[in-house]
Amino acid sequence: MAMAVANHRESNDNINRHLDSSGKYVRYTTEQVEALERVYSECPKPTSLRRQQLIRECPILAHIEPKQIKVWFQNRRCRDKQRKEASRLQSVNRKLSAMNKLLMEENDRLQKQVSQLVCENGYMKQQLTTVVTNASCDSVDANPQHSLRDANSPAGLLAIAEETLAEFLSKATGTAVDWVQMPGMKPGPDSVGIFAISQRRNGVAARACGLVSLEPMKIVEILKDRPSWFRDCRSLEVFTMFPAGNGGTIELLYMQTYAPTTLAPARDFWTLRYTTSLDNGSFVVCERSLSGSGAGPTPSSAAQFVRAEMLPSGYLIRPCDGGGSIIHIVDHINLEGWSVPDVLRPLYESSKVVAQKMTIAALRYIRQIAHETNGEVSYGLGRQPAVLRTFSQRLSSGFNDAVNGFNDDGWSIMHCNGAEDIIVAVNSTKHLNNISTSLSFLGGVLCAKASMLLQNVPPAVLIRFLREHRSEWADFNVDAYSAATLKAGGFAYPGMRPTRFTGSQIIMPLGHTIENEEMLEVVRLEGHSLVQEDAFVSRDVHLLQICTGIDENAVGACSELVFAPINEMFPDDAPLIPSGFRVIPIDAKTSNGQDLLAINHRTLDLTSSLDVGSAPENAATASNPSSRSILTIAFQFPFENNLQDNVANMACQYVRSVISSVQRVAMAVSPSGLNPSFGSKLSLGSPEAVTLALWICQSYNRHLGSDLLRTDSLGGDSLLRQLLDHQDAILCCSLKPQPVFMFANQAGLDMLETTLVALQDITLEKIFDESGRKALCPDFAKLMQQGFACLPSGMCVSTMGRHVSYEQAISWKVFAESEDNINSNIHCLAFLFVNWSFI
């Protein structure tokens, strides 16, 4: 290497030779260069001290002047810089050339398009001026853009098919849609260009392009089997199929897709699919919706599907040398977002969502299959990847079935609990044909589900937490109940198997997709029998679980945690009744065609290393600080005959408690920490707080006969303010079996060293130690009996563990005062700690 560099410049290139003692230029020997390079790799810029040391220690370099060494290092560094610069320029050049090529192609296409339009234009003008006869009537019909499209005849369908092909191709490799790079994608060999809702058309579109090591025919086969890779696809039926010249086929399809939340209905499609091959050896599968009602859902489910439209989309597969293929995927659909609630609309009008759910999912799936076919996947617990994938698909579709609750699956709604909008639906076993018939003893399955809005919670973070800290939100006994109910025979009544759960879970991974966006695992909940004789019998409960979207590199995709109880042997055909969580982020601003056009024309996606102009800005993450997501929860409970109502109540309560746990977790993991989504409604100044303050004072007066606060003015705000500023600690706790604090004035917060938001985690018991609790008992009884109690001086503990002593404590029942003061309901308990201080 050193020898190869030309030596014509003395001053700048003394990296190969140096002046020796006689003043002549002498080459560095290979050993010398080696030694120097070695040092350089460790320390490219050695100090003079280091250099001297080097000369001393290294005999080979002994006869070189220190100055020469210095110069050598200088030149070496310079050479590095030059090399870097050169490679940088080269890469910029490559990008620019690629961009150039693309632009030229586009230019070509546009010119052709314009010339064709001009031609048609002229033709029509001509037509208008001539006398119109029957003959010219036919020729008008032959106008390519508006030809009669008779969807009832094969010839008409073929015409539609050809049109679809042309439109699809213009999107796949052309610029019929203004494609913009998807924000957040890692740069790589694939391009996922997405979106722009172009001005003329409706709907959203996504496009992906990638290289896969599979044969084209195999890819066509996989992609046409949409339910296998498109998790949201419930069913795909081929109604007719007929050949279409040069080996192609035309099919009429009816497809149903699940709704992702419980807030809007599912969508279905009636489409024509055209499979053919092009002259250049590529294969094309393209598809678009047909007008008219076509096939549809069964009458019982008709109201649960909204007809959506697929604009020309499809797959272009070009075989490569060496057995692989280049795939171009285009998905362009209109999900009729106008009919969904405002808050959900961004989900139905987002190209990013389409890209993730369909386009990228398809590419990933194909890659996964390619990987498996090439034998590069390790088997988890001895199961083949295909088997594991079946489990994962069944869990997904089971969860989707629960969330959607289609009538033709046998679901019917029991009741909607208005308070938290929990929907309860029931399904009797005779319809559960996806579960093995060994469950005939079951009365059926109950499902409790709800969807809600979360703010400022990154989906991946929330789901990761729920997965890792199951004990924070789940009641393992409920899982045990479901598991036991499913066990064949049904003689094991869950109630007769008391189990104590340690609260810990062990996660055993089964497998994951190559890009880590989905993991399949078995969760073991450790349990021990509480029955003395069975003390050594393990009552572990096993769950089969999939977790998606928690990978750090997940590009803002939806995150899910879905699990189902399973026998520990987990046979391939084990019945699965899944439950779980799905969190979908909503872009605050829907991608605006105008904005993205502007970005595109700053040409900086490909040439980001050129610092020309401002950095590319992403319209979707513009000025909106808070991020929103929709959380959908669905829990299924199998129940035995006669126990339907009991289980329904249990289900409702359980889901309610899960929801409040999740809300608590959401607040805790929210980065700002200051944005309670559903939490304490008792923030300062809220009407609830004002009313509560009023009730506290009134109840105090009622029980103890004197005024809590100095002034008696019932002017809302001022009362609340005085209460909050009161020097004694005033706290309120709810009246549950485990009383939890729900209000505190500033002194109370200081005493417990906590915040209003975290207050709800603190139970009454927690602030007292053993002796304190013992002392509290009789007083508590008195409190409940006569409505108030005066506690003597004592001690309590803050959340930080500091001890607090107080002179006196008073507690009383707070009533939600009604007008007549007679029919009041007890709202909560209040505590007043007089003269408290830290020890």
Q: Which tokens hold the place of 93?
A: 């050049």
Please name every residue paired with 813 in a beta bridge, in sequence order, or none if there are none: 829
As measured in angstroms, the least distance from the Cβ of 110 to other proteins is 4
As measured in angstroms, the least distance from the Cβ of 406 to other proteins is 32
| Interacting residue with other proteins among 601, 611, 705, 839 (CB under 8 A) | 601
Among the candidate windows 33-41, 82-90, 364-372, 755-763, which touches other proteins by CB under 8 A? 82-90
**Could you tell me if 152 and 272 are in contact, meaning their C-beta atoms sit under 8 angstroms apart?**
no
As measured in angstroms, the least distance from the Cβ of 44 to other proteins is 25
Question: If we measure between CA atoms, which residue out of 488, 527, 171, 212 comes closest to residue 362?
Answer: 212
As measured in angstroms, the least distance from the Cβ of 134 to other proteins is 8
**Could you tell me if 508 and 522 are in contact, meaning their C-beta atoms sit under 8 angstroms apart?**
yes
Q: Which tokens hold the place of 636?
A: 């299924």
As measured in angstroms, the least distance from the Cβ of 137 to other proteins is 6
Quote the CA–CA distance of 738 and 829 in Å, as a whole number: 12
Site for other proteins contains 735 (CB under 8 A):
no
Per-residue string for binding with other proteins, 189-228, x by CB under 8 A? -----------x----------------------------
Residues 103-162 within binding reach of other proteins (CB under 8 A): 103-104, 106-107, 110-111, 113-114, 117-118, 120-121, 124-125, 127-128, 132, 137, 140-141, 143, 145-146, 148-151, 156
Nearer to other proteins, 98 or 714 (CB): 98
Quote the CA–CA distance of 84 and 540 in Å, as a whole number: 59
Among the candidate windows 76-84, 94-102, 456-464, 541-549, which touches other proteins by CB under 8 A? 94-102
Q: Which tokens hold the place of 809?
A: 């404590």
Quote the CA–CA distance of 766 and 283 in Å, as a whole number: 68
What secondary structure letter does DSSP report for 359? I
As measured in angstroms, the least distance from the Cβ of 152 to other proteins is 9
Nearer to other proteins, 117 or 381 (CB): 117
Size of the site for other proteins (CB under 8 A): 45
Q: Which tokens hold the place of 56?
A: 């001393």
**Three-state DSSP state, 510:** strand
| Interacting residue with other proteins among 99, 158, 377, 453 (CB under 8 A) | 99
Nearer to other proteins, 93 or 298 (CB): 93
Nearer to other proteins, 158 or 790 (CB): 158
Residues 691-710 within binding reach of other proteins (CB under 8 A): none
Nearer to other proteins, 291 or 683 (CB): 291
C-alpha dihedral sign at 713, 719, 721, 725: positive
The conformational region for residue 701 under phi > 0 = left, psi -120 to 50 = alpha, else beta, is: alpha
Rg (the chain; Cα; Å)? 36
Torsion angle, CA of 480/481/482/483, rounded to 10 degrees?
A: 50
Please name every residue paired with 193 in a beta bridge, in sequence order, or none if there are none: 181, 207
**Three-state DSSP state, 414:** strand
Cα angle, residue 827 at apex, residues 822 and 829 outer, rounded to 5°: 110
Nearer to other proteins, 179 or 806 (CB): 179
Per-residue string for binding with other proteins, 561-600, x by CB under 8 A? ----------------------------------------
Quote the CA–CA distance of 18 and 25 in Å, as a whole number: 5
Nearer to other proteins, 103 or 781 (CB): 103
Residues 278-307 within binding reach of other proteins (CB under 8 A): 291
What secondary structure letter does DSSP report for 601? T
Half-sphere exposure of 216 (CA within 13 A, CB side): 21
Question: Could you list the residues that contact other proteins (CB under 8 A)?
Answer: 86, 89-90, 92-93, 96-97, 99-100, 103-104, 106-107, 110-111, 113-114, 117-118, 120-121, 124-125, 127-128, 132, 137, 140-141, 143, 145-146, 148-151, 156, 175, 200, 291, 601, 603, 607, 610, 612
